[in-house]
Amino acid sequence: MNFVSSKNTRFFSSIPFMIPIRVLILAFCIGFSFTKCNFQKASAPLPFPVSNDIVSQSSHHLEWIKVKETVWIHKSYGEFGGQTYSANGLVIVTNKGVVVVDTPWSESQTEELFAWIQSKFQKEILYLIVTHAHDDRMAGTPLFQKRNIPIFSTSLTAKLAKEKGFGKTNPILDIQTRLGAGNQWVEVFYPGHGHSADNIVVWLPDTHILFGGCLIKSLEANDLGNTKEANREEWENSVKRVLSRYPDAEVVIPGHGDWGKLDLLRHTIRLLVSPDN
């Protein structure tokens, strides 16, 4: 199947790979064991008891949040340092099947995703888009591979995913790519470095929903989370590019935490320019 309808332009060759020294120092100080994304500490009631004890991944269960009839958030949970955090991905329902954006944070929750899609929609999964090479976006990719579901990413994410052992993706996405999905369109946009070098956002033109992924922080986030691979100088510019590209977004969904409107982008910029972060 050929899902790509737009022309792609080469751009990754021009990505600056210089990372400011202070980012490296900060990353070293806070993140030697961090492999997760920009966490949002779970604040909503959890479907399992939470304590300071390590809770095994298998006790985490996927949750569903309806944004529109055709767009759902799959909310999964992961552990870091004895704490539980949530992560958002998307399921887009079309007349031909569903599109998944990012996998849940574990394989067991990815099995729940498959079961739920089957029971609720009785539709096949057309393809998976991963928005960057971190495990809260890609932990379930082996299960998609097992089912022969196409996994799309940018070439940079494909390269980083391979290096990190997250599996193989098909690098068909470029700086801007529109994918057909039954009666809907799914657009991805690479705005530049931010939370990671490869973070992309997903735009749904039919419903005016913007999935910001880990580039965008929720309003309840007080800090930037894990900045181990972040480029703070470029991050602000990247958010501004998204803001000017999608000014008519009605719903903005961050990688972690509650969804809202475009003020999530302005909040992210505030966090970036704050001397406390």
132 as an active site residue: the answer is yes
Say which residues have a Cβ less than 8 Å from residue 173's Cβ, sequence separation at least 6. 8, 129, 152, 153, 154, 157, 188, 190, 200
Instruction: Rule CB under 5 A: choose which of 74, 134, 193, 228 binds Zn ion.
Output: 134
Binding mask 177-216 for Zn ion (x = CB under 5 A): -------------------------------------x--
Cα dist from 179 to 1, 66, 68, 247, whole Å:
11, 22, 20, 21
Neighbours of 26 (CB within 10 A): 17
Q: Choosing from 38, 74, 88, 134, which is the catalytic residue?
A: 134
Comparing CA positions, the residue from 119, 116, 94 lying closest to residue 104 is: 116
Contact between 173 and Zn ion per CB under 5 A: no
Answer yes or no whether residue 37 interacts with Zn ion by CB under 5 A: yes
Active site residue 222: no
User: Using CB atoms, what's the residue nearest to Zn ion?
Assistant: 37
Closest CB to Zn ion among 117 and 242? Answer: 242
Tell me the one-letter amino acid at 172. Answer: I
Separation in Å, CA 112 to CA 6, 70, 104, 107, 256: 33, 19, 9, 9, 19
Catalytic entry in 60, 132, 193, 256: 132
Judged by CB under 5 A, the chain residues 45 through 74 that form the site for Zn ion are: none
Q: Mark whether 136 is an active-site residue.
A: yes
| 226 is known as an active-site residue | yes
* Interface ranges with Zn ion (CB under 5 A): 37, 134, 214
- The residues annotated as belonging to the active site are 132, 134, 136, 195, 226
